[in-house]
Amino acid sequence: MPELPETETIARDLDGAVHGAAIVSTELFRPDVLRGIGAPEFKRRTGGVTFEHFWRRAKSIIGELNSGDRLVITPRFTGALLIEPASSRHLNHDTDYTALRFILSDGRSLRYRDVRRLGTVALMAPGAFDIWEGRLGPEPLDPDLTDERFSVLVRASGRAIKTILMDQRRMAGVGNIYANEALWHAGIRPTRRGRSVTRAESGQLLSVLRRILTESIALRGTSFRDYRDAFGGRGGYVARLQVYGREGEPCPRCSNVLRAHHKLEGRITVFCAACQK
């Protein structure tokens, strides 16, 4: 599932390549990806408008339109936003999993494809967007998220520390891959209760989390399975993963066998029982 580094990469790609492009028409093949708006209204409100800016919030890509609306795309597990030349105009949406496509004024297209169609597309007026964004927690790379603020955020909960990291209402952008990685780097067992994490441990956790996310952004994210950037390329951070996807292998730090379970949120948790306390 695209997390902070992956959606940040896509948003930066789109802002560089699609900024200022007008939407000539909107083709909607799978209306079930839409949230909070019907297909006729979505097509009406996106036709003839211009993309002014793309950015990321949490694990979503935000496209600001000159109409004032915000396009909010959350790719989830298999969604992808792809910039394509005019020569790619002919497609079979029944076999290539295209959910919608914006035809741009310069002949290119911006296509959203989603194999499992678990991702979502919303078009929000400013007020609705403010409500949506207000439900999200702070960003881990935001300088305003101080060590003290993060410590309070973590230590105020009795839930498992991995669950806290993945709760978008507490801190936005971190998902399963980077939660596993950060907790291994910090030497904290994923099932530890938040209230049991010391201030020193929470400070170390925030530090390594920021380093990992920054490194992954520089390498254009992690393509473990489905993720592709806006040009169809793969991310390079997979080569640096220490625990995610490596259950049964030796721990890179202490050589004990890495364990895995699905007890937390039904997602795979990979950890070292020997050196994560």
Active-site annotation, residues: 2-3, 59, 267
Dihedral pair phi/psi, residue 49, rounded to 5°? -95, 170
- What is the rounded distance in angstroms from the CA atom of residue 189 to the CA atom of residue 193? 9
Residue 122 tokens read as 């919303």
Query: Are the C-beta atoms of 70 and 126 separated by less than 8 Å?
Result: yes
Sheet of 109-114, strand order: 23-28, 98-104, 109-114, 79-84
CA distance 65 to 9: 20
Going across the sheet that includes 60-65, the strands are 34-35, 120-124, 70-74, 60-65, 51-57
- The Cα–Cα gap between 117 and 30 comes to 9
* Helix (H/G/I), strand (E/B), else coil: 110: strand
Specify whether the CB–CB gap between 173 and 55 falls below 8 A.
no
Q: Are strands 267-271 and 259-264 parallel, antiparallel or unpaired?
A: antiparallel
